[in-house]
Amino acid sequence: MSGAVFDHPWLSGLFGDADMAELLSGPRQMTHMLTFEAAWSRACGAAGIFDPELAEQAAEAIARAQIDFDDIKAGMAADGVPIPRLVKQLKALAPPEAVHKGATSQDVVDTALVMTLREGSLLIGGQLMALETHLKALEAKFGDAPLMGRTRMQAATEITVRDRLLSWRLPIKDHLVTLDQKRADVEKLQIGGASGDRKALGDKADQVMAEMAKALNLAPNDKAWHAMRHGIAGYASFLSLVTGSLGKIGQDIALMSQQGIETISISGGGRSSAMPHKQNPVAAELLVTLAKFNAAQVSAMHQAVVHEKERSGTAWSLEWMVLPQMLMATARALKTANTLVQNITWIGDKQA
């Protein structure tokens, strides 16, 4: 255990999100990789690249394979990717001539990633919709209440609670639209083979692509995106924009919670070890922290778009370090925002 907050024995209580962690867990990623390999065997069987019967045998064996993670871990340091060892394990369980041939590590790892992103997108989409609903409910309850508008933190002119809440809710609505665009940008099959040209598939490339698309429900495409990473980085940008908008909500709430301002009341809230009476806006602050975190990470994802030639070991593995964390931070922020918004018991200026 490396001290990473999402999995930490106690810090995960603040930063962790069990649902997204499940989607990003090793076993689930492995399931996606096995799903790819099984579908691959079948698709190559259907296309006549593999013997169809052996292909079916392989697919079935792959589907029920028990993978030795420690062996794969041992291979990571040497190979930089998990697939050589995984394939070796699979070939011991299934007809080797009907396993993986024609595919490459990046096909498996990226397609599995895309399957993870699809699941993550559903989680995020659901949370965004819930947040929109909770914000509407808040508006219905307190929208008409007067509230001193604050520009540059200074009292400006009186607005209504609705005015501020709209600046919380409308971005969520926009993010739901963007999510659909981004899903279309990333939910694409990754099939290229050794140097990304599908040459190993010969004239069966289109058929294999079609079979795989059907099996995995991912968009087929004319060219592997091994070295074209703007889609992934664009997805990461979306995540950071979501946490940015939630950070704005958190920042507002933390400011509104200050004694002397006190234009919001929240049930729950944090204790202090030195001052047991004190109530800290922990959830609101967490939204700001997660926004700042993702805003730093997004830079790494953009650096990784410079992906040299047919495959960059450096840029690709930088994505592995960063993107899962951005998903975790986004999921945690959304869940925190949903709870926080529901815990608001009053919003508006104190009555005179």
Q: Which of 127, 126, 164, 122 is nearest to 142 (CA)?
A: 164
Binding to a second copy (CB under 8 A) within 27-56 occurs at 27, 29
**Nearer of residues 199 and 214 to a second copy, judged by Cβ:** 199
**Nearer of residues 61 and 86 to a second copy, judged by Cβ:** 86
Query: Vertex 112, ends 109 and 115: CA angle to 5°?
Result: 155
Give least dist CB 129 to a second copy, A: 17
Binding to a second copy (CB under 8 A) within 262-281 occurs at 262, 268-276, 278-281
Give least dist CB 213 to a second copy, A: 18
Interface pick for a second copy out of 41, 89, 121, 257 (rule CB under 8 A):
257
Give least dist CB 301 to a second copy, A: 8
Binding to a second copy (CB under 8 A) within 149-208 occurs at 149-160, 163-164, 166-167, 170-171, 174-175, 178, 181, 185, 193-197, 199-200
Binding to a second copy (CB under 8 A) within 319-348 occurs at 320-322, 324-325, 327-328
Q: How many CA atoms lie within 13 A of 328 on its CB side?
A: 23
Check if the beta carbon of residue 29 is closer than 8 Å to that of residue 112.
Answer: yes
**Nearer of residues 79 and 206 to a second copy, judged by Cβ:** 79
What burial letters (b/e) apply to 279-312, b meaning 16+ CB within 10 Å?
eebbbbbbbbbbbebbeebbebbeebbebeeebb
Provide the CA 193 distance to its chain's centre, in angstroms.
26
Binding to a second copy (CB under 8 A) within 206-225 occurs at 223, 225
Check if the beta carbon of residue 15 is closer than 8 Å to that of residue 332.
Answer: yes
**Nearer of residues 136 and 278 to a second copy, judged by Cβ:** 278
Binding to a second copy (CB under 8 A) within 131-150 occurs at 149-150
Structure tokens belonging to residue 117:
């992103």
Provide the CA 295 distance to its chain's centre, in angstroms.
15
Based on the shown chain and the rule CB under 8 A, indicate whether residue 352 belongs to the binding site for a second copy.
Answer: no
Give least dist CB 52 to a second copy, A: 23
**Nearer of residues 45 and 192 to a second copy, judged by Cβ:** 192
CA distance 176 to 173: 5
**Nearer of residues 53 and 343 to a second copy, judged by Cβ:** 343
CA distance 135 to 253: 13
